[in-house]
Structure formats: C-alpha cells, structure tokens
Amino acid sequence: MALRCLRFAGDQFLEDCAGGTRRMLLNDEDLAVVRVQTALRELGFDIGSHGADGFFGPDTGAAVSAFKQQQGLNPSDPVVGVGTMTRLDDIFFVDPPILDPAFLEFSPLVADKRVDPLVANVLAGHLAAPFGSWRRMAAMFALNSLNSGELACIVATSRFGDLKKLVLQQAAAVQPNGETAADWFERERKEALKARGFSGVTFTFQNADGDSVGIIQVSDELLRGKSVTTRASTGQRITNEVGETVIHELTHFRNLGNQAGIRATPDSDSKTYFDTALAAQQTATMPRPTQVVLLEFMEEISARHVEWHVRQEVQGNPFAGQFLTDVQFAAAVVSYLHEFPRLFDAGNDYVTTLNQRPDDAVARMRQAAQWLRRLQEYSFTDNEEDEATVQERLQKAASVCDFLAAGGSLIDPPDPQGLFPLVQDFP
C-alpha cells in the first residue's frame, strides 16, 4: 500500500509496514522511526526524554501502544504495522498533498522527493520567522534556489538513491571529471553511504546546459539528533541542529561560484598568505595544496558566521548582530586559527605550522587579517543592509588584527563572538 501523507510517503520501511511486509519493532533504529516518533509527538503522545532519536525504545513503544488504544486498534502492542501506519497516514494526509501546511511552500518539493520531510519541516519553521530575520532569509533563499533548479535537492543520506532519476534527467552525459552521469551518480551514492562524521555536505553536478546544479546532503545522524561537533583538544561535544546545519550548507551553496577564484590563488600571493614560503612548501610536500586551506577558511568562517546569527535568533537574541563588535569578531576568527586548525588544514597543515612559529600570535593575527579581507569576496545574505553590515565588519575586523599584530593593545580583553561554535559554547 502506497502511503499518501508527505511526511511518510517514499520511506520504504514505512511503505512496507503499511503494505504488511514488514513491522517496526522494539530496538529498530533508523529515520523511519524518527518519522513515526515525530508524528506521535505532534499528536500529544510522550515519546520519552530522548525525543525523536530514531530508536524504537520502550518509551516509543509505550506511545505506539497508547496511540493504538486511542484509535481502537487491536492488538495494542508496541508494534507499527498495517493498522498503525494506515491510521497515521489517514490522520496526517492533506488533499492535495502539495498544500500540506506542515511544510508551507516547501510541500511541492517534498512531494517531488527533492526535500526530505524532516528538513522541510524545519525550513518551514524558518520561513514563518519574522521578516528581516536571518533564518527567514535563508529559508527563502533555499526555496527560491530549489524552485529555480539551481539547487536540485536537500536530502538525507539514506534517501540519496531516490535522486537518480531526477539527476540523470538533468545531468550532462559526461561530467567535468570525465565520468558518465550514471557512473558519477553511483560513485557519489556509494561515498554517501560509507561517509561518517559529517552532518552535511554540498556538491554539484553539471547539467546539459553546462551549468552547475547544487545538491545538499544531510546525514541521517543529524536528522536523528545524533550528529555532534567535537573539540579535538578536550573531547567536548555539541549536538548539531538540523535547521542550523542546513543553513550552514546553504551558505556554502550560495558561494559555490567563488571557489574557482580561491583555488586559483598562487602561493606567492603576499596579500593572501602571511608566509608565502610556507604556503609554497606545503603545496609542494603535502597531499593537498595550500589553496585548499584558504578555501576551507573561507567556506567555514562564512557559514559559521551565518549559523551564529541564526542560533542567536533561535535562542531569543534577534538583535545580537547589531551589538557584535569588530573586536569580538576578530577575536573569534583568530581563535579558530588557534583552537581549530584541523578544520582548515585538510591534508596540508599550513595553519598548524603557523601555530608552531615562535611568533605564532602575530602570525595568526596577520593571517587572519589577510583572509578576512579575502572573505569580502563572499556573500552572506540576500538582505542588502545586513550584507553591507557584514562586509564592513570583515574590513574592520581585519584592521583590528593588523593593529594588534603591530603591537597595539586593548583596554579590555575581547570576548570572542560571531562564529558558532566557539570554545565557550562547548559544555
């Protein structure tokens, strides 16, 4: 039996439950469980303190039993089968599905399997945020990019295979790396299934017109609330949030057009590299060129700045950006070079080696200043006023770094702010 409700349709496990060929039992674990847990919670049933974590434990089993008792389904055991899925599907079905209010304007994209329902639900929440907010801006950017076709989809890793027909209909027969479109897709699908340790990734394929089309893939672990960012030096961990991670990846997508210029930067560019000799040495001796370190800096600082704005809004601080000082932002960027060098080094160790210099503090300040100025090539928002504010912040923060590197001092030590996460964010 084919499920009709957008939140369930297309999930093979749930389709099989509705068709009587499988049952969801205690200790089952995957995104299908998340979808059932989320539905039960919305209906007012207690699924336990762990929330929609994708694990069918005793609390979820009790919620299933309570739902079945309420609906007169027998037996009322902690099992999701034909009766349970059929009833849940009936309760949440909206006719026509493309008007499902749970997903607002994203409903047609969920129906086309271009946006995972769990992602669409979060983006719809951002879309309903106040006008002028960063999260509403990001949701509108996602919606417009998806509707224009520039962004093909935002999907969960486990449902990446559902994209095959969509991608092959659009893709050029031969991709830029020389692979056929079919071979490219199969390789990406296999890499997605074996990938570990990421919450989201953004990449592209080339369509028949020669244009790049984006794909954002988010991990099942993220959608289950199991994806974490770990501070390597201490082992402290922060749970990654779906909405913020998707917006992080949307910032990467927004700036895909800048990557070629960054990758073309020569190691001898003294306006980009504080230590051009080191940049050349690392390119010559390490697995990846130093341009990759520069690119990772640009990508991560831009995305984490937007993510910071969104997190501040979600936490009830919508005006945090207006009170963010240039000194605080400069301190945040320098702290990233010091505390999280592996985030950028990517098989090169340029930042790690800078940190080993006798003048490491000055080196970090000088490098941060240069890279902050390069970061002005990137875009952060569609809101012209906010974009102008960020661009001015980048320039002034670079000047702060130059001032401190030259021996300047501040009356009060800066409190790093403007990126997420920072050291103080780890519990």
Grouped pLDDT means (10 residues each) for the chain, 427 residues: 91 95 96 97 96 96 97 96 97 96 96 96 96 96 98 93 90 95 90 77 94 95 92 89 95 95 97 98 97 97 97 95 95 95 93 96 97 98 97 97 91 87 92
Task: Name the DSSP letter for residue 241.
Answer: P
The pLDDT tens digits for 214-247 are 999 999 999 999 999 888 788 899 999 999 999 9
Question: What pLDDT is recorded for position 409?
Answer: 84
Exposed e or buried b for every residue in 239-270, given b needs 16+ CB within 10 A?
ebbbbbbbbbbbbbbbbbebbeebeebebeee
Residue 63 host element (H or E): helix 58-71
* Among 325, 370, 331, CA closest to 350: 370
The pLDDT tens digits for 245-265 are 999 999 999 999 999 999 999
What pTM does this model have?
0.95
- The residue ranges of every structural domain in the chain are 12-92, 96-254, 257-427
* Among 224, 304, 257, CA closest to 55: 224
Task: Name the DSSP letter for residue 239.
Answer: E
The pLDDT tens digits for 108-149 are 999 999 999 999 999 999 999 999 999 999 999 999 999 999
- How far is CA 190 from its chain centroid? 20
Does domain 12-92 fall under CATH 1.10.101.10? My reply is: yes
The residues with which 426 forms a beta bridge, in sequence order, are none
